Amino acid sequence: MNLPLSIDSLLSSYDYELDHERIAQVPMEPRHSARLLVVGENPQLLNSAKHLQVWDWQDELRSGDLFVVNDTRVLKARLRVRRSGGGLAELLLLEPRGEGRWLCLARPAKRIRPGDYLWIEALEQDPIRVQVVANDIGTGGRIVQFPASFYDRETVGALLERFGEVPLPPYIDNKAANLDEAERYQTRYANRPGAVAAPTAGLHLSDDLLAALERKGIEQARVTLHVGLGTFRPLESEDLTNLQLHSEWVEVKEEVIQSIQDCRARGGRVLAVGTTSVRALEGAFLAGGGELKPFKGNVDLVIKPGYQFGVIDGLLTNFHLPKSSLLLLVSSLIGRERLLALYAEAIKRQYRFFSYGDAMWIPPEVVLPLARPRR
């Protein structure tokens, strides 16, 4: 006899309605002028939340705290290509699969099949021909073979830097702002190319704010998670019991471990900037058998309600898409019902949502007791 699923295990329980006008099309300038919803300590009172600006985040932290950012850099991973019949198409390169093969999302997918040849549209004088060699059942993408001169990640990266485009999310459709997306859709500390989407909470941290945090004795550490399909792919199964996510490449260095140990020793708090920083740290923690150790490799960690964190105490994050794995992760910190109530309050107060939108600060004091790391 199958027992009914708890409401927290149903994808439909993480849905909410959002008018298109609440989806931010351009970022705020300066970066730190975005709004900041600070979750209050009383879960019964929505009006216990504070409504500030990201600049004020420094006043929510203490000298001796440590905030951890994701230093990945977004690749110009979208390539325009021409099909054999002359029609235009696009490839979004997600990750290398060895010997010049890349997993890509293709558009229009129905017209791009195994065996097809594609030509990179920008190279009019000497076009490069690639071939679709297989479908990828797990992702719905295509495995694309590049020629021998593009067999390593560095040469493909150079090709993307020259001819690719920054892959903005599909819900950003306002091109009138004439932004330099290649830089504005990057964090100020992005220096390790490999992501196909930005770790968007970090987009709020301006040079001025980072300097102000340093002056207050609030330290910074950097991990790397190359944001890929595991972060932004929509969830499909209503039953979340055995949810699996596509893996993403992570590196947590020894210096990060030392910074966290030093922070703990002085009574500070470990605070994550963005869900990808959470996933990197917690993935390394679990890979170390319940101990935070240096780690380099792929992480497919699912964080959902009921998860007990091993590393992070608090989280600075954006407002996320309905029915997304990111919504599950944030729900695991403060509870699904409370999170959705706060989202409703943010909508009522006309906060801006998603990648270029506003932010939420979840201080350690409001994290569910069962989710907090054991010391």
Tens of pLDDT, residues 180-213: 777 899 999 999 998 999 999 999 999 999 999 9
**How many angstroms separate the CA atoms of 130 and 118, rounded?**
5
Regions of the chain short of the pLDDT cut 70? 1-3, 45-46, 121-125, 174-179, 230, 232
| CATH class of the domain defined by 7-74+182-371 | alpha beta
For CATH 2.40.10.240, list the domain ranges present in the chain.
78-163
Residue 1: its pLDDT value, please? 43
Whether 359 contacts 56, CB under 8 Å:
no
**Residues with Cβ < 8 Å from 300, sequence gap 6 or more?**
230, 244, 245, 246, 247, 248
Residue 174: its pLDDT value, please? 58
* Residues present in the chain in total: 375
What pTM, to 2 d.p., does this model score? 0.93
Residue 61: its pLDDT value, please? 98
**DSSP assigned state of 320:** P
**How many angstroms separate the CA atoms of 273 and 255, rounded?**
18
Residue 177: its pLDDT value, please? 47
Residue 244 to residues 78, 93, 183, 247, Cα–Cα distance (Å): 26, 21, 32, 9
| CATH class of the domain defined by 78-163 | mainly beta
For CATH 3.40.1780.10, list the domain ranges present in the chain.
7-74+182-371
